[in-house]
Amino acid sequence: QVKLVESGGGSVEFGGSLKLSCTASGPASSRHCMGWFRQGHGMEREGIADIDSKGVITYAGSVKGRFTISQDTAKNTVYLQMNSLKPEDTAMYYCAADDTVCDANVVVPGDFDYWGRGTQVTVSS
């Protein structure tokens, strides 16, 4: 059973930065693809970025250039560095994992089987 625990969320001002962490446990074979998603109040869950076990990365267009996904395989942890934060980045941020390879073109929630509980990010203007 895969377990994902997010941390690092909080409240920041416009233009600030945060680094989220997602620590995973469970079979590595179930975590070939790791992704970050977010869901604002009253909005659909949106893909941010994903990274596969070989380090290949896909970004969604809306955060490209501001957010960076990375991983430390020795620590079973995936990170999301978020810079130049805006109020519209306010959302619950979720980590997800899947046992298949990452889609090469898109980051979509339906491709992921395992989810963390999320960590809240609030950006004030």
Q: What pLDDT digit, counting tens, does each position of 66-118 carry? A: 999 999 999 999 999 999 999 999 999 999 999 988 887 888 998 899 999 99
Q: What is the pLDDT of residues 14-65, one digit of tens each?
A: 999 999 999 999 888 888 899 999 999 999 999 999 999 889 999 987 788 9
pLDDT for res 63:
86
> Exposed, middle or buried, 6 (CB in 10 Å: 0-12/13-18/19+)?
buried
What is the separation of C-alpha 118 from the centre of its chain, rounded to a whole number of angstroms? 9
pLDDT for res 29:
82
pLDDT for res 1:
87
**Beta-strand relationship, 119-124 and 10-13:** parallel
pLDDT for res 62:
79
pLDDT for res 76:
95
